[in-house]
Amino acid sequence: MKTRILVVDDEVQLQPLMQQRFRHKIRAGEYEFRFAVSGHDALESIREDADIDVVLLDINMPDISGLALLAQLPDLLPLSRTVMVSAYGDLNNIRVAMNRGAFDFVMKPINFQDLEVTIDKTARHVSQLRESVHAKAVAELKARFFDNITHEFRTPLSLILAPVDTLLQNPQHDNRTRHSLLTIRRNGRQLLHLINQLLDLAKLEAGSLPVIESRGDVILFVAQVVDSFRVIADQKELALLFSSDTAGLEALFDGDKWEKILKNLLSNAIKFTSAGGRVSVSCQVQEDRVTLTISDTGIGIPAEHLPHIFDRFYQVDTSLTRAYEGSGIGLALANELTRQLGGTVLVESVPAVGTTFTVELPVHSIPEAARVEEQQPVSADAEPWLFTRGQAEADEADATKPLILLVEDNAELLAFIAESLAGTYRVLTATNGREALDIAQRELPDVVVSDVMMPELDGYQLTRHLKNNPTTDHICVVLLTARSAATSRREGLAEGADDYLTKPFDLDELRLRLRNLISHQEKLREHYARQVGSLAPTNGTDEAPPATVQDAFLTKLNQIIEVHLDDSNFRAESMADEVAMSIRTLTRKLTMLAGISPARLIRTYRLRRAIDLLRQGHPVSETAYMVGFENPSYFTRAFKEIYQQTPSEYLMAGNRWP
Ligand code: ADP
């Protein structure tokens, strides 16, 4: 390989000397010299032809000093390196030059043997530098190409999937058409998932897949991901087990990446295990690390393949007739995501016995007062290899839409209903009654739409649990069932279900019923809000508030406040304790029932009772204490803020009992 050397020195006699000393190298095509006798000369030469590997630069030159020229070289020749040439003993200048980025230096009078070694060393460095820059450019180019091409795939795929989804919303299709549409959708989604994985890999490689941590319960999160495979495991007749040595662990972690890693390992475990087998996931927490073990009793991986299974596109069975679908991307992605998060993946496997993947991932403790978003709960996927979040969850952001919980053990049907409702409502999904009950208690949806025949807890039992629990008893329940017999209908209504639809049901009918239920709820809410929230002094016939509030729950709350009426320490939290709910649950329930917060309910009640007491002739300051205001002037302010007059003004206006 040829090294191109630019010698910059005002000593002209150096030129023949160099050519003489290095004549063999020049003749062999290893060195090529160019000479410049001043700084200006050098700049011109570089401008003419920048193909230079090594610059030999004299420090002492009349026009531009070597140090000044050196400062310009990184811009002009970013991929070349400079060796300074200076008089013996000029250590100060040499130090400055080295600090400014010179690669090396030689002393005058020149020792040519030493110079040759220095030139070769510099040339080697330059060539390595160029190789790495080139490799990086190629990687970037590849990543960009990957990015572009994946987008090119994604757009038409979305344009296939969107109309299929719309077609599927039409309940009029016969079974064959519906089946074909579902097949198109399933395969389209699978393809989309593959493309998304490729895109993730490309992004990881280009370093453009950032770690985004948010707060959540790691154990619960993992349990939910495992649960999303329940349907597919049941279909394959596999036992799917989950265990953890810790009940819960609140922490900061990148849920999206955890989900991708787990889903890839779990879908493999299920894919490579046949009916009657077992797939188990366990969580172990040690300080700030979580160890996830995913074991199966499947076909196993022969020892000679184990070192390669994390390679991209690697598959143990590459025969055309292979029994398992796949692309060989999943494990590579899981491995690289784990590495990015600072974790490790290990695999142990015995053919025909089973495989165990052990993933160790770090979690970070939540800093005090951290205000980070909660991890979104994962939904049960129709197909475990379909990890893209559906429209239903995307809409969760719009908190003003009513919240519907759909419970259905047929994953395909669940996805179909969820998607059809997603535009109008926020939709949560569950695949069995037990899961539904958990979600309902946590999220307090406006309506639960539930299948009747389900594993774990059936629709009737679910209804009974919801309607007999004071936290959830206000939630409307719509039951869906294949049984059309009047007895089962009565059964459902007896448990307190609010409405009932027989399968195969008409989607429009479900929509209509939901709309009616929700508008009914809204009317009730407005009604109660008027009753509870109304502060305007009414004419003399006004009664104490509890009598006018029909809803049992609100009556109960009013009774509780009445008992604590003169207790100024009685707050929203105390009220939540009294009804055995968390403050979050109480707030949500009360807001849904009457559009009012617990604190405001207490305050409103106190002020309304104050009116009663004032009318009965109690003096203002006494009334203030009797309704739990520690400070009469604060009472007067609060009173005026809402009634636009002070208590005395109110009395003067002739509002006393006759
Ligand atoms: P894919 O599953 O799409 O082929 P992966 O990267 O997920 O690609 O897996 C690579 C290969 O590793 C699989 O093709 C399979 O041969 C093997 N493999 C992965 N997980 C298991 C498992 N749990 N049991 C048996 N073989 C497995």
How far apart are the CA of 315 and the centre of ligand 1, in A? Answer: 6
**Is the shortest distance between the CB of 299 and ligand 1 below 6 Å?**
yes
Q: Is 329 in the pocket of ligand 1 (CB under 6 A)?
A: yes
Q: Is 272 in the pocket of ligand 1 (CB under 6 A)?
A: yes
CA 248 to chain CA centroid, nearest Å: 19
Given a cut of 50, is residue 325 above it in pLDDT? yes
Candidates 268, 306, 316, 345: which one to mutate for ligand 1, based on the most atoms within 8 Å of Cβ? Answer: 268
Chain centre to alpha carbon of residue 510? 31
Q: Which of 272, 304, 318 to mutate to test the pocket of ligand 1 (most atoms within 8 A of CB)?
A: 272
**pLDDT tens across 367-388, in order?**
654 434 444 434 333 332 222 2
Cβ 550 under 6 angstroms from ligand 1: no
Please tell me the distance from the alpha carbon of residue 238 to that of residue 232, in angstroms, as a whole number: 9
CA nearest ligand 1 atom 3, residue: 326
**pLDDT per residue over 57-82, tens digit each?**
999 888 889 999 999 999 999 999 99
CA of 149 to the centre of ligand 1 (A): 25
Reply yes or no on whether the pLDDT at 231 is more than 80: yes
The predicted pLDDT at position 437 comes to: 92
Query: What is the per-residue pLDDT for 367?
Result: 67
Which residues share a beta bridge with 374?
215
Distances (CA, A) of 469 to 406, 449, 472, 485, 579: 19, 18, 6, 28, 11
Q: In ligand 1, which atom is closest to the CA atom of 298?
A: 24
Q: Is the CB of 188 under 6 A from ligand 1?
A: no
Ligand 1 binding pocket includes 268 (Cβ within 6 Å): yes
Mean of the pLDDT values across residues 300-319?
87
What is the pLDDT, as a whole number, of residue 370?
A: 43
What tokens were used for 415?
């996805």
For ligand 1, atom 7, the nearest C-alpha belongs to 330
Is 70 exceeded by the pLDDT of residue 245? yes
β-partners of residue 480 are 451, 501
For ligand 1, is residue 351 a contact (CB within 6 Å)? no
Atom of ligand 1 nearest to the CA of 315: 14
What pLDDT is recorded for position 504?
A: 59
State the residue for tokens 């739990």: 628
330 in ligand 1 pocket by Cβ < 6 Å?
yes
Predicted TM-score (pTM) of this structure: 0.44
pLDDT over 90 at 292, yes or no: yes
Q: Is the CB of 316 under 6 A from ligand 1?
A: yes
- Cα(428)–Cα(407) distance, rounded to whole angstroms? 9
Q: Which atom of ligand 1 is nearest to the CA of 329?
A: 6
What pLDDT is recorded for position 111? 93
Q: Whose CA is nearest to atom 14 of ligand 1?
A: 315
The Å distance, Cα 243 to ligand 1 centre, comes to 23
CA distance 314 to 578: 60
**CA 330 to ligand 1 center in whole angstroms:** 8
Q: State yes or no: pLDDT of 416 exceeds 50.
A: yes
Asked whether 194 lines ligand 1 (CB < 6 A), one says no
What residues have CB less than 8 Å from 645, skipping those under 6 apart?
639, 653
Nearest by Cα to 428 from 507, 420, 436: 436
Indicate whether residue 309 lines ligand 1 (CB < 6 A).
yes
Each residue of 590-625: pLDDT tens digit? 888 888 888 888 888 888 888 888 888 888 888 999
Which of 160, 153, 255, 257 minimizes the C-alpha distance to 204? 257
